[in-house]
Structure 1
Amino acid sequence: MPRRGLSLAVLIVNQLLAGVGVASGIAVAALLVESLTGTAILAGLSQTSSVLGAGLAAVPLARLAVARGRHVALACGYALAVVGAGLVIGAAVSGLVVLAFVGLAAFGAGTAAGLQARFAAAEVAAPGFEARSLSLVLWATTIGSVAGPNLADAGDVLGQALGLPPLVGPFLVSGAVFALSTLLVSTLLRLPPPGTLAADAQPEASALPAAPLVGDARDRSAAGEAATSDPDGVGEAEPEPEPAPEPSPGAWRALRIAVRDPQALLALLAIVCSHTIMVGVMVMTPVHLHAHGASLAIVGLVLSIHILGMYGASPVMGWLVDRVGAAGVIAAGGIILFVATVIGILAPADDLLLVPVALGLLGLGWSAGLIGGSALLTRAVAPTLRVPLQGASDAAMNFSAAIASAFSGVLLGFGGFAAVNVAALLVLVPLAIGWARALMSRRAAAPRESHGAS
């Protein structure tokens, strides 16, 4: 059995390393692709390649977690990132542009593994502390995300000292850090069976939803059959064999089951919509600011405020989820995102005060949506559905982010920064509908539960 404190500490340290690995490479990826292709148009696809790679890796890593354990899946994700860093270095040396995009896609597996580490943190948490453990792992990303770009220059110096082309050295740093992450999780990390929470053994715990878990009907049916096998209680009962563990469904089947339940659907919408809004606005903010005369220092400051909003308040969001519930935090996140996008629509193009405020709120709303949605996703479905559904949700959030980043440039050229924020505002509509539907479902279930208790 895992030691929960040690496992959480390993996850936090490893998330810090993964943050360094991702940030140090991505910081120069667009510049490296531009130097290889000679055009800024293809350089913009570097981020898209990495995001798509993360989306493509999410479901296979979830399947591997079910088959071999979380530590194996995380180690394979980080190992793929090492391979990706090596391919990018090879592309720079050989001049093969296609190899760079393939490498960046493999590099995105490190991001996918980092996202799935938050669910591993919930699985080692004490009952009632799942969201806080999850948020601590996300918070560790703050340190890595800040330190990574600052290591890019030192990595470039190292790479050129080794005879590599300019801008390649940071991927040496990324590859080394991800190799250390692979070693760390494969040797030190031991976790409960994927999808298992400590609270599962305590059905009376307040952290669990009062309504039946989605996908748990067969378990309840089996329990009913066992209870009626000897109704009179007479005769010598034959010992019944232990039931075989229920096989975990595929990611897309789990997704089809979950979307029929209002609570699980709200969790999915919170994760996907929050991430889509954040990426769609964030990727165009530097372009918008630079086009209106902002210096690179101002652009960097605005992005730092945004990252601080994303990760700095993570422990607070986790505490709030465990104290007041995931639905309330998701609602707060939606309101914050609404305010952020409205500021983005109304702010004058040359206003260098309101845009940083909007970006900070954008990161804060993302934090509330992601942590609230992730915590609800672990609590609203049966254990056999958790891991495949987590993989499907991570794939969906990355694919939607890739689409948002691709269309945001078109919207910026068509209608400016206001148009980008209007599109983000529209993404809030399905989240609001999902929240209202989940609330009505809980209110409708409350009288039935009280009647059954009486």
Structure 2
Amino acid sequence: MTTATTEPFVDDRLAKRNAVLLALAQALGGASASIVIATGPLIGYMMLDADKSLATLPVSTMVLGTAFGTIPAGMIMRRFGRRAGFTGAAVLGVLSGLLASFAVFRDNFLLFALACSIGGFAGAFVQQYRFAAADTASDAFKPKAISWVLAGGVLAGVVGPQTVIATKDMFAPILFAGTYLAQAGLGLIALFLLAFIKIPKPPRRNRSHAGGRPLLQIMAQPRFIVAAACGICSYALMSLVMTATPLAMIACGLTETDAALGIQWHVLAMFGPSFFTGNLIARFGKERIVSIGLALLAGCSIVALMGIELAHFWTALVLLGLGWNFGFIGATAMLTDTYRPEERNLVQAVNDFLVFGFVAAASFSSGALLNAFGWGTVNVLVFPFVVICIGLLVWLVLSERKAVTTA
């Protein structure tokens, strides 16, 4: 295992302050994403006259925007710093909310999908919050700093769906137009909070080490490969099932409010455990927590295959959120073991590009799979990927133990 060197600037007091601010901003950024997840497929379904399989396209364009924003996000923040990148992205998020509301008013599906992609691009910077919280943290505090930021999603799990419920009929009979105006308002609040974070840029090393190791050398590490694979599967499988769920619920006779509340419970389950996930990682190890997360993802699909009542959907969504939390936070913590301070921006950006590229493919295929093969097929597809990732984790643990005993 290649362990990251100690950060050149370590201040846990500053790290805790930044983590609190970033957690609050995460609550608002996460709320924007949950708004699109809860309403995007429904808006697409209402706007499309013919091919309803494209109803999940707005969610997919949001995720694609995030995927394509990861590399620029890393480059911008490496050049101008974390705060400049985060505040600029918050402005972009406000603009995307305004454009989405206009698109809903005009009943323009492609413009709505474009607005979601712009919001997704801004979301690429939101995804960096968890890494930013760890920038000035000690090695012992890093997992907790990451989990603190993601704990901000607990509030997002309430704010996003409740915003949908409170504003969906604001401009009736045009559903959800007011929701995206409210989304823009949330972005303005996040912009204010982000102005107060303080994260020093990593100092330049000597010329020969300024850029760090070659990227392919870093990516060739077994720990990077397994961490990236588990992060991809945790997020992509969650997206596959979650994106299809609102449409499946409506198809089974449930209401838009049922779907929004289901997403609320899901997002709460995604981020609620973050208050103690860092402690669990410190006590039981990263690989074990990731394995538990993957098992919970499989449990979600088992429950979903047992029935189509409201309780089945909500229970499955809760398990899906818990599985994502353990799997993705654990994989993120594993990733921090693989790079040096001067390499972090590039490696983090490449990791997120890989993750969200696969997440976009999963969310896009979700609607088509649901439309063509049904809810059961969407859930059955979870199992083989869970088995593969658990196998990779076992291989990594055994190979690292062997390396230690033979050293």
> How would you bin the TM-score normalised by the shorter chain?
0.7 to 0.9
What is the SS of the residue equivalent to 2:152? helix
Q: Is the 8 A contact 2:42 2:246 kept in 1?
A: no
SS in 2 for 1:61: helix
Question: What residue is the counterpart of 1:276 in the other structure?
Answer: 236
- The residue aligned with 2:139 is 127
Is the 1:30–1:46 Cα contact (8 Å) retained in structure 2? yes
| Aligned counterparts of 2:263 and 2:293: Cα–Cα separation in 1 | 19
1:228 maps to which residue? none
Query: 1:331: how far off?
Result: 1.8
Gaps of 5+ in 2: 1-8
| Seq. identity, % | 26
Q: How much does 1:283 deviate?
A: 1.9
In the TM superposition, residue 119 of structure 1 has moved relative to its aligned partner by 0.9
Which residue in 1 is equivalent to 2:366?
Answer: 408
C-alpha distance in 1 between matches for 2:322 and 2:107: 40
1-side partners of 2:298 and 2:53: how far apart? 31
Structure 2 contact 21–197 (Cα < 8 Å) conserved: yes
SS at match of 1:257: helix
TM-score, scaled to structure 2:
0.85
Q: Are the aligned partners of 2:242 and 2:317 in contact in 1 as well (CA < 8 Å)?
A: yes
Give the superposition deviation at 1:273. 0.6
SS of match in other structure, 1:265 = helix
Q: Secondary structure at the match of 1:149?
A: helix
In structure 2, which of residues 11, 18, 24 is the aligned counterpart of residue 13 of structure 1?
A: 24
The match for 2:377 is 419
Residue equivalent to 2:209: 246
Once the two structures are overlaid, the 10-residue window that deviates more, 47-56 or 143-152, is 143-152
Superposition deviation, residue 269 in structure 1:
1.3
1:391 alignment partner, one of 314, 334, 349: 349
Mean Cα deviation higher: 48-57 or 410-419: 410-419
Offset at 1:356?
A: 3.5
Other-structure match for 1:379: 337
C-alpha separation in 1, matches of 2:376 and 2:336: 36
8 Å CA contact 2:40–2:58 kept in 1: the answer is yes
Confirm whether residue 188 of structure 1 aligns to residue 196 of structure 2.
yes
Would you say the 8 A contact 2:56–2:363 is kept in 1?
Answer: no
Cα deviations by residue, 1:229-260 (Å, 9 ceiling, x for unpaired): xxxxxxxxxxxxx823734479xx63x33332
Whether the 8 Å contact between 2:230 and 2:327 is mirrored in structure 1 is yes
2:181 to 157, 172, 178: 172
Partner AA of 2:209 in structure 1: E
| Residues 1:259 and 2:219 are matched in the alignment | yes
Q: 1:320 aligns with which of 280, 283, 287?
A: 280
Q: Determine the structure 1 residue equivalent to 2:267.
A: 307
Question: CA contact under 8 A between 1:321 and 1:372: conserved in structure 2?
Answer: yes
The residue number in structure 2 matching 1:340 is: 300
Whether the 8 Å CA contact 2:157–2:264 is kept in 1: the answer is no
Decide which moves more: 25-34 or 47-56: 25-34
> In the alignment, is the contact (CA less than 8 A) between 1:80 and 1:110 conserved in 2?
yes
Aligned 8 A contact 2:303 2:316 in 1: yes
> Corresponding residue for 2:405?
447
How far apart are the structure 1 equivalents of 2:248 and 2:163? 26
- The alpha-carbon distance between structure 1 residues 425 and 258, as it changes in their structure 2 partners (threshold 3 A), is farther
In 2, Cα distance between the equivalents of 1:342 and 1:135?
27
In the alignment, the residues of structure 2 paired with residue 288 and residue 396 of structure 1 have an alpha-carbon distance, to the nearest angstrom, of 28
Q: 1: distance between equivalents of 2:392 and 2:372?
A: 30
Whether the aligned pair in 1 keeps the contact of 2:74 and 2:349 (CA below 8 Å) is yes
For residues 384 and 441 of structure 1, do their structure 2 counterparts lie closer, same or farther at Cα, with a shift above 3 Å needed? farther
Contact 2:161 2:263 in 1 (8 A): no
Rounded Cα–Cα distance in structure 2 between residues aligned with 1:301 and 1:319: 29
- Aligned-pair CA distance for 1:374: 0.7
Shift of 1:373: 0.7
Amino acid of the structure 2 residue aligned with 1:193: K
Among 275, 281, 288, the alignment partner of 2:248 is 288
Which residue number in structure 2 is paired with residue 73 of structure 1?
85
Deviations 1:36-69 (CA, angstroms, capped at 9, x unpaired): 5556454431111111111111111011121221
Q: How does 1:32-181 map to 2 (within 5 A)?
A: 32-33=43-44, 38=49, 40-92=52-104, 97-152=109-164, 154-155=166-167, 160=171, 167-181=176-190
Counterpart-to-counterpart distance in 1, 2:211 and 2:327 = 27
Moved more, 407-416 or 171-180: 407-416
Work out the number of aligned pairs and report it: 394
CA contact (8 A) 1:258 1:265 kept: no
User: Against the structure 1 CA distance between its residues 350 and 127, is the aligned structure 2 distance closer, same or farther, given a 3 Å change threshold?
Assistant: closer
Deviation at 1:446, TM superposition (A): 1.1
Measure how far apart 1:329 and its partner are. Answer: 1.0
Alignment-mate amino acid for residue 4 of structure 1: A
Select the structure with the greater relative contact order (CA < 8 A; seq sep ≥ 6).
2
CA distance in 1, matches of 2:310, 2:35: 27
From the CA coordinates, give the structure whose radius of gyration is larger.
Answer: 1
Deviations 1:283-342 (A, max 9, x none): 223333443344555544543332232111122222111222211211222222233334
| Structure-to-structure mapping, 1:15-30, within 5 angstroms | 15-24=26-35, 27-30=38-41
